Amino acid sequence: MLENQIGKRYAEALSGNISDTGALEKALANLQAFEEAIQAEKQLVRFFEHPSIPTEKKQNVVQEICSRLAVESEVSKMMVLLNERGKVLYLGKIVEYFEQVVDRRLNRTRVHVVSAHPLTDENIGRLKAALNKILGKTILIDTEVDESLIGGIMLRIGDQVTDDTIRNRLEILKRTIEKEEVA
């Protein structure tokens, strides 16, 4: 898709302009804050979508948001460029791909954990240590609770999913029984 290509291109370009790892983290936080500001105010989305509003007016809004959020200069320059090219509304994809680029450069992996019950800090720590040992990367974990899983956990690492939940085991058992009844 076009938005994916645009997201990748601008994310890689921004990453290429930043050599310091600390600045990478700040740039990511700036981009996320800018995206949140636009999405929080639906009128801003319509404002940037509207073709009859001059680019200069949009530019003033971009600069005002950058100023209020105290955005780093590299990110501010990119936001100005996105506005000039009419690509501000692709910021969500740019943030998504920039996060991936930052994670790759900092040798880390994001893991989404869904469990039936809240995980303790000790459990999260053990999971991080085990995944770090397996993947050889720094692990960033975000958790979610879904009581419909009954028990167990589901891990999502990139596009891979490991489902070791009771709900999944029951589904597998159900399919196995249905196959035996048909045979």
The 10s digit of each residue's pLDDT in 121-135 is 999 999 999 999 999
The pLDDT tens digits of the residues spanning 9-65 come to 999 999 999 999 889 999 999 999 999 999 998 899 999 999 999 999 999 999 999
At residue 182 the predicted structure's pLDDT band, cuts being 50, 70 and 90, is: confident
Beta-carbon contacts of residue 162 (< 8 Å; ≥ 6 apart): 154, 155
**Which stretches does DSSP call E strand in 33-167?**
108-115, 138-145, 152-157, 160-165
Hey, is 144 helix, strand or coil? strand
Region 164-183: mean pLDDT is 90
Listed as own residue / partner, the contacts of 23-27 with beta carbons closer than 8 Å and 24 or more positions apart are 23/72, 23/74, 24/102, 24/105, 24/106, 25/102, 26/72, 27/72, 27/74, 27/75, 27/98, 27/102
At residue 139 the predicted structure's pLDDT band, cuts being 50, 70 and 90, is: very high
What is the per-residue pLDDT for 183?
63
Q: Which fold has domain 2-104?
A: Peroxidase; domain 1 (1.10.520)
The pLDDT tens digits of the residues spanning 55-102 come to 999 999 999 999 999 999 999 999 999 999 999 999 999 999 999 999
